[in-house]
Amino acid sequence: MPKKANELQATGRRKTAVARVRVAPGVGKRTVNGMPIENYFKTLPLRSMVEQPLHATESANRFDVIVSVTGGGLAGQAGAVRHGIARALVQADETLKPALKSGGFLTRDARMKERKKPGQPGARKRFQFSKR
């Protein structure tokens, strides 16, 4: 992704998804992995999750957002994009930080899938105990 002079870059993470976000002054165009956001995040809850930082700062039509996201599933990717957009908006305008901070958009959600332990069928599940 070549960077232009007035673009700001930020990275967002959630679960195993990583989003590289570029924010530039514009009219509100949003693309994710080269396609419009409506085509990539097909469900309304995921789209609204991605746009939360823009609506919280009332800058939905002030910036164009270009995202490259990899890893994880769609929900994790949406969370990563949201985190990256919030971090890029703070770079663009420091006065937006209190609104984004109070909404919890700048905090990286550190919850990850727990690993499977040896001798067990899953992370927490145990094989059935047999006394005899």
Which tens digit of pLDDT belongs to each residue from 85-123? 999 999 999 999 999 999 999 999 999 999 999 999 999
What CATH number was assigned to the domain covering residues 8-103?
3.30.230.10
pTM of this structure:
0.89
Distance CA 94, CA 107 (A): 16
Domain ranges of the chain: 8-103
Per-residue model confidence (pLDDT) at position 79: 96
Which portions of the chain are predicted below pLDDT 70?
1-3
Q: CA distances (Å), 86 to each of 77, 104, 105, in order?
A: 14, 10, 6
Alpha helices, H only, 4-114: 37-40, 44-56, 74-92, 97-103
